[in-house]
Every structure is written in structure tokens, then in C-alpha cells.
Chains A and B, each alone.
Chain A
């Protein structure tokens, strides 16, 4: 790129009124980092401030050629048949294998044949890919131990992987969106001094003596950050959801739940005892129809009106990268009096020009959502979950939420990590650094997504989403792609059933601010190779014809400029 071009963007960057510098050397918490954890920014051009783009419809299904689905189903059929044949053979010749599956001395089998069929015959073949242990900080790079596949074993997996050195891979697998997974710098320093002051754990439940002042302080900080009156922190994000919904609704209430909601939400809804209706993922028309119908019909049998109707949805869906249609949902809330519960596990910190989540992205006041939830395992590099809402809600939770009464309180060092990272994002400490991270993440996410899309991969989700799923479909492509990428030293997550539908297996890139543009160029280059090799670039364009398959070399130099265009979606 020419010098003028570089300067024009750089000055533009200053005009925005920010004092942020383009080099990690100027930030006290990043300067000490080695490039394994956080890469240097190569040019101030590679920064982007998120702006509202029209929510795009999730078009994955339209992007898939029909023959791919046919092939996929055929392959599963083959796997199914082979699996059953092997089960049959094992039932005769391999009593050891059958030990846990058959009645034994009057005891029912621990696992039923059928329930465990998928795990034994499909998933077991991918075991070496799912169970890779790692070591050190999951930053820009991640050190992965390789495991070996043990053929024809029940659940065994190779145990002596320690002997070999772990391989260092570019990390597109961890939820380290803003790069706060660090072993040095402000966050780690604060966590270390917290260990010295408070110890390693809180020493009790929040209700029963485990609530330390650092927890209340961090809760206030979180409340301010997400724009709610009060907040509460729990030691686990999954547990937060699983135990919270019971506090909001009971069996006289209705919960409308998005089809792709996370398992924790589904567990929580089930435990609440409320009546559940599921609506198609992000389908607002269907949802509205459902709301109208349900208000009119009331509770089944008794015909009384519903006490409350709660809509449970996620801000950013972790397996699809799609975003909820918040404006529409807020409209429903105002029009019909339904309540909104938004899970911001993946969006808090990662979305919005200020990193404050989906509300920030859509510029909608958080007061329009009744209950906000999020986790700290993602953008904040810590652990735990939060609920933010009115003071009344939080006071109620303090004495009657199951997690706050029975579960261990969050550990002080984790709280310190949360507090420090929030302060950095909001610019309270290390001014400029938060914005620097946010803009890097925003640029990186768009860059990889658009690059993959141009090459013809089936990529779904929102343009600004840091979760970038690439669909594989065929079960056979799962191990092939994952092995090949591992060979290229790229760590990505392989997602299959039960986290997604059986037929829509995918690999998922989780973007991070810690990566540099050259890292992404490398990934794109290698993905092109993998895509050619395994026929992954099969997307269909909006017009119904195969999408153009650009060669990476042809657009490598201009891609960065293209993604800076906020109109792109």
C-alpha cells in the first residue's frame, strides 16, 4: 500500500477523537507480552470501529447446494450401517466391548446400546480431535498436545501423549476475543496481588459468608458496564443460566425459547417448570404469531391468562455467529408486555463500538431488556457468569437464587481479572488500550469472514461476529479438515452433534484481538488449500448459482480496504 494511503487512514483514526496508539509497545499491559500471547499491530489501517449494519437474515440453508445434503445423509447412513454391523460382530466376538452394554448379573447395563451408539461409533472416531490437552496461556498461540486414535476401543484414548512436545498453533479456538488471556500485564499482576490478599478462593457460598468486598465492588462495576442498576456474579456461566430461570417464571408462565439456545438455558427453563414453546431460530414473524396466539389462548386447560411471558434468547449465537434481532424483540416487549432475557455470553465485550454488547451495537438502552446475562469465560479471560437487572431482581436473587445460596462464590483472583479487564475496556485504566483491542477484534473478525466468503466457503452469521463458522457437512470431512489444519499449525474448533445438528458439522473460528493480519493471511492461504483439497468451497450465491470462487492471491492486497467499508454486510 502506498505511503499516502497509510497516512490518510492513520490521520482519520486520530480525528475520531481517540488518543489511541497503534503499537502494543505503548500500552503498559501489552508491552511486556511476547508475541506468543499478543501480536504487534502491523498497520493502523487494520483497525475498525463497529457500526450498525442492517441485521442480515441467516442464509446458511440457501447457501448449501442440495447435493451436499444428500451426500451427507448418505454418509451418515453408511456410518450407521457400519456401526450396527460392528455392534453385531462385537456382540458375538468381543465380550469385553459389550461389558457395559449388556445386562450383567441382574444389573441393568450402565449405558444403553442405543443411547450410546452415537458416542461409541461416531464420536469415538474423532476422539483424538476433541480431547487435545493444551498448555500455557491460550493467547495468540496455543500449545496443543496431540493424541493418538485408538482403533476399535470403547472409550479409551491414548494416555501417553505427554511424551511428545506440544505443538504451537495459531489460536482460533479459544474464546479469547479481546486477548485478555495473558500471563503478564495489568490483569495478571492484579490477579496475583489478589491471591496474596484474599487467597485462592472465597471460602463459602455468596449467601453463607463467601461474599467478599471485592465481589460487591466487581458487581457494581459490571452493573455500570452493562448499563443496569445492579448485577450479581456467579462462579459459573452454565450454572447461572441453569438456576436462574426458576427465579423469574413458574408453571403459570410461558417461556418462548429460541430453537438454538444454549444447553444451559434449556436446562434452566426445564427446571423452572414453566410451559415452553420453541420458535425457529431468529424467526421474528413466527415469534410474533406465537406471542399473539398465546396471549389470546392463555394457559392450557385452565384458560386463565398467563402470569408472565418470558422470551429467552442469546445476543450472539455461539455455533452460528448469528445475532438476535434486538430492535424487533424490544418492539414486542413494548407492544405486548412480554419480558426479555438476553444471554450475552459471546457478545459482551466483543460486540458494540464500546464492547458493551448487543445493546451497544444496536444503540438500544439496556433498560429495555429486563434481564441481562453474560459470562466472563469469553472476552474477559476469567471465569463465572453475571446477571444484571433492577435492584429488586438482584436483591431477590441474593436470598433465593440456588447458585447464590448453595454454590461456591466466585474466586477472588477471577473477580480481579474481571474488574481489571472491564476497567481496561471502558478506558478507566490504560486509556486507549480497550479501544485498541476492540478495534483489532472488529477488524480481524470482518477480515477473516469476508476472506472466507469470497473464496466460496459456506460461512454463516453476522458480518461483525467474532464467531465464524465454516460448514463442512460431510462427517468424513471433519477429521480430514481438522488434521490438515493441525498440520498447518492452526487450532480451530470442530463442532458436531450434540452441539449442533447431526448433519451440519462445522469448524468454528473464534477471532481474537491478539492475532495480526499476517496470521489471518496465513490462515486464509491454508484454508484455500484445504478447501481445494476437500471440496469445501461450494457455497451458492444469493442468485442461486454457485458463488464466485476468488483466489486468495487475487484479493489479498485489497481485502483490508474492502472490510473497512461499514456498508458491507
Chain B
């Protein structure tokens, strides 16, 4: 009640401005204005009458909208209500686990002790498995220099930051880390989120609102899908990496909005290295299209940052594109870089706006300072090109893995040849239904475990995937393996696939 005056003030303000704007845009509005003026000149009383009539119509319209649900309510007596309450049988909060869930549950590995190149899995007969699940391709998490730095930071900052950024939770290391990232990527500013996954669902709705238009690759990962849902914008999905399809969509949308007054914000959303396919889009073409059709680009470099490009600056570096062409770079630091948290980099206005509006930033504590410290250490070194050789080696090894795996006729390799994130599906699954496809993947994963390889399926929850789950196997190639070992591993994987299919 008390806030009513401001609320009303704001609302009137807003509505008047909008109304006037809209009014001017309505075709023929000038005639109406003229008509009103004229009729007023002729007969002032009529204006008043018409105005009252208008008010009445408005009231009727608003009132019916407000009580839309209520009007739909049944009129029930107290006894009837009591009876219905007695009768109501809620479903259990969680019904029992499905067979699929039980199977997946068996698949989730629990690593004994640390996650190194070789790991021990709880409940597995094989004593030691080769770890092909670490997103941290370069084992930075166990790197001596980095762990020493982490200990040093904990000795100074403690573990947690104990507060969101706006409430004294932004420590100097966080700001330094943002600066390092901005400097590395070559953007004006960068903002740090405390979880990689929560970055996209929080950033996208900051800029894409109701009435805006998004052009989205149909293989984007879950966080982007969630972000799109939260934005309430109009979405055009284009076929995975299909530039022709993207262009068609852009043309379609542009023709739809042409001459309709306010132009909507348009964003193309795609990934640098797709989590689900291990592929990259044709960035050069996207930039060309985006300029031609006046859209902005949000590029998720979660997996490509620290993997692609000579120094690890991601897909943009690989394609020779200046970062300034990309309006917003978002991503997780926990995937390609193997660290922790997420980021969004771009122009100053883009980043600073998020500090107040972005929910996951404003309403969540900042990441532990020691991790921010380690991140800026890694990023600074990467900017200097310290890791260039390593990156080159990794891509080379990935290529070897690809070549070997490609010899296998039972699988479809869908990732790009030099991607250390390797994704393949099973040929036998092409015609299978979802549950037997999932079962086949399960067999491969479990057979591999029996034979000393820890790999997992591509983590997807089919129920929430816009386009269903892919039922694919995911391999993350650690750089610590030698080329020989990589080839040997590839052969082993093929053998496992064959064994799994034979026993099926």
C-alpha cells in the first residue's frame, strides 16, 4: 500500500510513454489524432462523452483480464471444499526410479582419492583405470605450481569469500581475474560468475527480453537452452552449423519485423566448440551474416577457450577474427580451461549492466578467492603464450585419436578431428529407440570400465533437452598421454565397442 504512489507514478510514466510511442506508430494514427482534434473543435461535449466511453471500455477490458482465473472458479460450499480436501490424493514427490535411472545410477563413477591420470573407482573390479573424463585436459588441478599458489592464497584469504560481489564479496583477486580475462580476450571488460553452468542462464535474459529474437544452433548445450527459456524471446533454431539455414532464418525474421516500428534486438547464439558434438561453426561466415542482417553474436567459448587457437584464445583466434567482432563471449572456466566458474566478456556497457541485473551474479556469493587467483595465474601465462606448445601437442594427439577411431566401422565420430573433446555415437543405434540406444551406450561404457578405461556417456538429461538426448559416448583426452599411448587407447576403445556389441 505504502509504495503505491511511486508504483503508480512509474506505471503512468511508463504507460504514457509507451502509449504515445505506439500510438504514433499505428498506421493511420495521425488521422485519429486529426479526427479527435476536429471533433473537439466541433463539439467539446462529444469529446468528453467519447472519453468516458473509452474509459469504460478500458475498465471493462482490464477488469475481465484481472479476474480471468477467478471467474473460472467453481462456486463451492464449505462442505464440498472439505470433501474435496479429504479426497485429494497427491502424487508422491518423487515416484520410484525408472529402469533407465537405475542404469544411469550404476554408471556414475565415484573416484577414490584424487582424480589423476589413473584413477580407482569405487565398486569396480579393475584396480586402476585410465581417466578419460577430466575436463581439465592439462591436469592443471594437480600442477605443482598451481597447487602451491592455491595454498598460498588460502593462507591469505581463507576458503570462501562469504558474500556476493555487491556485498563486499568481491576481493581484489576477483577483480584481477576479471582484468586478466579481459586482457587475454582483448575485450573492454569481463565479469566473473561463480559457476560455469549458471553463467548462460543468467547472462542471456539480461539482454534478450520478450519481443527480442534469437537465432540459435539446435545443438547448443543445456545452460544456453535454459537461458533462452528464461529470456522469453522468440527463438529461431537453425540446423547444427548450417549457415544456409541460419541465413534463411535471418531473412525470414527480418522480413517479419520490417516496418513494424521498433526493431527487436537480434542475437545469434552458438558455441565455439560444441559440448554435444565436439564441432565448431564457421565463425567467419557467422560474422558476415551477423553484419549483413544486423544481429549481435553471443559466442559460448566454454570448451574452445584454452583449447583452440595458437595461444588458446578460442575459436575467434583460430578463425583470425578480432574479439571486438563478437558482442558477448560467455563460457565456463571449468571445461576447456579446467578451472572453475564462468565469465562473460564484452564491452563496458554490456558487462557493467550485468553487475546489477544478472541474477546469478547479484544474488550469489563470489567464487573462492584461491580459485580466482589460480585462474588469473593460468590466464596470464596463457596470454603470454606459455602454453602454446602444449595446446599444439594436445590437438595433434587428438588428431591421432581421431584417425584411429575413424577406422572403426561401428561408430560415428561426430567431433572435429583435432578436438580433445571426442564424441561418437553407435551406428547400431541409428534405428534404435531411445531406451535401447541408451542401453547400448551403457554397455560400451561399462565394458570400457572393465577393460581399464574410465569414460562416460555424454551427460544429458533427455527430459530437459529440447531435441532429445544424443546417446553418445564422450572421451576427454588428457595431454599427459604420449602419442603411442593415445593410439593404443584408441584401439582399446574400438575393442570395447566391439566387445560390447558382441555381448549384446
Binding site for B on A (CB under 8 A): 61, 64, 69, 73, 76-77, 80, 99-100, 103, 105-111, 114-116, 119, 123, 130-139, 142, 144-145, 154-157, 162, 171, 173-176, 180-184, 187-188, 191-192, 195-213, 216, 235-239, 242-243, 246-248, 262-264, 267, 270-271, 292-293, 295-297, 300-301, 305-310, 336-339, 370-371, 375-378, 380-383, 390, 392-393, 395-396, 398-403, 405-408, 411-414, 417, 491, 493, 498-499, 501-503
Contacts and interface: CB of A to CB of B under 8 A. Distances in A.
B90 interface: yes
Nearest to A504: B3
B489 interface: no
Interface in B308-358: 332, 334-335, 338-340, 348-350, 352-353, 355-357
B85 interface: yes
A144 B169 CA distance: 10
Interface in B422-473: 454, 456, 459-461, 463-464
Interface string B127-168: 000010111100011100011001100111111111101111
B219 interface: no
Given A195-B150, A271-B229, A242 B198 contact: yes
A392 B78 CA distance: 37
A395 B356 contact: no
Contacts of A135: 171-172
Given A73-B6, A208-B474, 13 more contacts: A108-B264, A108-B265, A109-B265, A133-B170, A138-B158, A187-B159, A192-B155, A198-B141, A208-B133, A208-B459, A209-B456, A300-B69, A405-B459
Contacts of B5: 73, 77
Given A209-B454, A408-B334, A414-B159, A134 B151 contact: no
Interface residues of B, number: 126
29 contacts: A110-B265, A110-B353, A133-B174, A133-B175, A137-B158, A173-B168, A181-B159, A183-B158, A188-B154, A188-B159, A192-B154, A196-B147, A199-B142, A200-B340, A200-B370, A209-B115, A238-B363, A247-B94, A293-B81, A305-B89, A371-B93, A378-B162, A399-B108, A400-B101, A403-B197, A407-B334, A411-B340, A491-B168, A501-B3
Contacts of B230: 267, 270-271
B367 interface: yes
Q: Report the 8 A-B pairs with minimum CB-CB distance, sorted nearest first.
A: A209-B133, A407-B197, A199-B141, A155-B352, A238-B364, A377-B365, A408-B334, A236-B195
Given A211-B109, A413-B154, A414-B368, A203 B115 contact: yes
B276 to A, nearest CB: 11
A541 B434 CA distance: 66
Nearest to B170: A133
A110 B350 contact: yes
Contacts of B356: 119, 123, 498
Most buried by B among A307, A336, A383: A383
Given A213-B111, A395-B101, A382 B159 contact: yes
A184 B156 CA distance: 9
Interface stretch (B10-18, B396-404, B410-418): B10-18
Contact of B93 (A208, A236, A248, A414): A248
Interface string B350-380: 1011011101101111011011001000000
Given A130-B166, A207-B108, A296-B84, A183 B459 contact: no
Contacts of B353: 110-111, 116, 119, 155
Contacts of A297: 73-74
Contacts of A407: 195-198, 334
A125 B96 CA distance: 54
B288 interface: no
B134 A493 contact: no
